[in-house]
Structure 1
Amino acid sequence: MSLPPVEIKPLSQLTLGQDWRIALAHDRPQHAVIWVTRGQGRLLLNGTRRGVGTHNALTIPPHTLFSLDLGRQGVGMAALIPDGTEVRLPLGPRQLRIRDVDAIGELTGIFEAAHRETTQGKALAQDAIDAQMSLLSVWLRRQIALPENLPTAMNAAARLSARFCERVARGHASGLSMAEHAAELGVTATHLTRACKAATGRTAADLLTERILYAARTALVETTVPVQDIARHLGFGSAAYFTRFMQQHTGQTPTALRKAAR
């Protein structure tokens, strides 16, 4: 079975004017490479919260929980690369703060060339985009190999937070509570809450809620699946409970959110 094409788009197209699309904790089925060219804000990645700014390159493997809040002034590009591609990409999430002028120019050039191919409608455009993604792979591996980009050691709270984020990414629709996830990790709910709060600024319950909320909003605005079926898929006991959850966190019912997006 053939893979879907690589997508190259500005961050503004990734959000479609709705900040929740990247500001809520979520994961994607593709490998995402994000190049921030203007702005600063907060990044959740690998179970920790850190600052993010201009000339930061983010590489986010499939099903890795993350969120990015750059505000309305943030500018950048994103490459969404299907899982299973032949392009060699980092196995783990990374944030690279690029200071070398030549390296900045190289990555900007790769994204600009790939984006032109998506908009100009030329023959063999996908082949050209794939070639640019191979150059992107080389650029990333060269940067990761530099001493200044070696990852820093994680403390115990960050390691536990990262393990919990892995569970949230893959099991948010299981219906398990935060306390049940904590038990699966072999810790108390209180210990998990403190670790996540220290590492991310959010409690464990906040992270789980955000991922469920992202899945719910995405299903409501991008599909026609009935509300009760979305509720069941996300582990809610009833459509009424799901409606109360959405009203609490968005101020609107599921039906109203869907209607507003049409």
Structure 2
Amino acid sequence: MATKVIPNYALYGDQVQASWNNLFDFEWIPKRSRPYNWNISPHKHDAFIQILYLTEGGCEVILDGARLTATAPCLIVIPAQTVHGFVFDTTTNGPVVTAAQGPLESVAALLMPDLLTLVRKPALIPVNADNVHAQAMMPIFLAIERETQIHAQGQMAAGMSLLTALCVQIARLSDAQRQAIPKANTRKVAQIEKFRALVEQNFKKHLSVSAYAEMMGITAGQLTRLCREELGMSSMDVINARVVHEAQRDLVYTISSIKQLSFSLGFADETYFGRFFRKHTGRSPREFRAQALDAMLSLQSL
């Protein structure tokens, strides 16, 4: 039996090129879908992520074998190498952005590592049009469209910056929708917010979980169970993540030495800071700084 080959396209209908000049592209759904009678057969893009924003109509969408129903308004996030296909309603409209996955991940890792989960996982995201973050998305889509048309200096840098801003809005929208789901215990939500506020005030002091729990009037075990139930991580993970975030920011946006940074973050010595940072990021502070600065220089040269 012959093996079925999934077509690989730069954009649907255009066989992928060995080298592509553009890092991002913009279209409206009807432009590419109408010529194919609104039926886009399953295919993939090896190096490109696509983000579709359905503002009208709907479709049946295949995402890595799962068949889903999408109804406007909604977002569809399709990372590189994801097999996908569509059967659109003939009334469907909305913008589609196609962008190079690698550079987008580099920017996300540098500026907001949480975005990596968003850009690496296929998703169908319903949109509440009244949400403030949803209202912010279309102006960004339209700005991306303008950048694809002007062919001016810095076009690629501007386009990737706008795409990053779009992903931030999508992440905010997703988070807001999760928070909009009624909580079974609002007291737990208030406790989590109190814990996060205390961590923000004290993370450079490297307080123990027991110390935070005492400030909240609960036991360390209760605090850890609370974080696992509400956040999916331990209380120590929350504390460490805040320290790592600050360390990454300082490594990129200050010229302080690693020794100076370690002391400013409350570590007893540079060696301990280095071990802590590598444990939580997989890289040494110097490696992270060098890679982050290289990524920034690459973007500036686009």
TM-score relative to the length of structure 1:
0.50
Partner of 1:95: 124
Q: Secondary structure at the match of 2:36?
A: coil
- Please say which structure displays the higher CA radius of gyration: 2
Residue 27 (1) aligns with residue 11 (2): no
Instruction: Quote the offset at 1:130 in angstroms.
Output: 1.6
Residue identity in the other structure for 2:41: L
Relative to 1, partners in 2 of residues 1:121 and 1:147: Cα closer, same or farther, differing over 3 Å? closer
Alignment of 1:121-136 (within 5 A): 121-136=151-166
Q: Residue 135 of structure 2 is aligned with which of 98, 105, 109?
A: 105
CA deviation map 1:205-250 (0-9, x unaligned): xxxxxxxxxxxxxxxxxxxxxxxxxxxxxxxxxxxxxxxxxxxxxx
Q: Percent identity, please.
A: 17
Contact 2:73–2:129 (CA under 8 A) maintained in structure 1: no
Contact 1:3–1:82 (CA under 8 A) maintained in structure 2: no
CA deviation map 1:102-125 (0-9, x unaligned): 222211111011101212344433
Residue 53 (1) aligns with residue 71 (2): yes
Instruction: Quote the offset at 1:132 in angstroms.
Output: 0.6
Q: Secondary structure at the match of 1:62?
A: coil
Q: Secondary structure at the match of 1:25?
A: strand
Alignment of 1:1-262 (within 5 A): 4-15=22-33, 17-19=35-37, 23-29=40-46, 30-85=48-103, 86-88=106-108, 89=116, 90=118, 91-101=120-130, 102-146=132-176, 148=178
Gaps of 5+ in 2: 1-18, 109-115, 181-302
- Matched residue pairs, number? 149
Relative to 1, partners in 2 of residues 1:115 and 1:147: Cα closer, same or farther, differing over 3 Å? closer
Gaps of 5+ in 1: 151-262
Instruction: Quote the offset at 1:23 in angstroms.
Output: 2.2
| CA RMSD, Structure 1 to Structure 2 (Å) | 2.6
Residue identity in the other structure for 2:125: L
CA distance in 1, matches of 2:159, 2:88: 27
CA deviation map 1:72-116 (0-9, x unaligned): 221011111113112434221011101142222211111011101
CA distance in 2, matches of 1:45, 1:116: 29
Relative to 1, partners in 2 of residues 1:87 and 1:53: Cα closer, same or farther, differing over 3 Å? farther
Q: Secondary structure at the match of 2:101?
A: coil
Relative to 1, partners in 2 of residues 1:2 and 1:41: Cα closer, same or farther, differing over 3 Å? closer
Contact 1:31–1:82 (CA under 8 A) maintained in structure 2: yes
Instruction: Quote the offset at 1:16 in angstroms.
Output: 6.5
CA distance in 1, matches of 2:139, 2:91: 22
CA distance in 1, matches of 2:68, 2:164: 28
